[in-house]
Amino acid sequence: MPSDLVLVNGIRFRGQHGVTAEERAEGRDYEVDVELACDVRAAAASDDLACAIDYAAVHRRVLDVARGPACRLLEALADRIARALLGSFPAASVRVRVKKFSPPGMSDTAWAGVEVNRQREATS
């Protein structure tokens, strides 16, 4: 597995994800951090974006999923994002952290979150 990482952190959006009717109606603020494990040697050697994972494209893909159909659980949202990234970019694995700010019933907590790690399925 490659030891290089492409990092896109602090992708912010407002979404209607959640278990409670209030969360789904009013929405909450979220933040997503992404790590894509990939080999960056070709991009480093060529200095050509065509040989790299485009950070802006990663950002757009995360927001496409995050602003899509609502999930009840952060686990489901993080998994959707991770699988979409693996389907869109040449990474061996991905780590996705989703933070929900001002979680309901936790007034003294800044955020609650989930982190998932997914690897590309082996092809035969």
Active site residues: 100
Tell me the DSSP string of 65-81: HHTSS--SSHHHHHHHH
Both tokens of 24, joined, read 């789904």
Q: Give 109's DSSP letter.
A: -
Question: Which has the closest alpha carbon to 121: 80, 88, 87, 97?
Answer: 87
As to burial, measured by CB atoms within 10 angstroms (0-12 exposed, 13-18 middle, 19+ buried), residue 39 is: middle
Distances (CA, A) of 62 to 6, 9, 13, 122: 14, 11, 10, 23
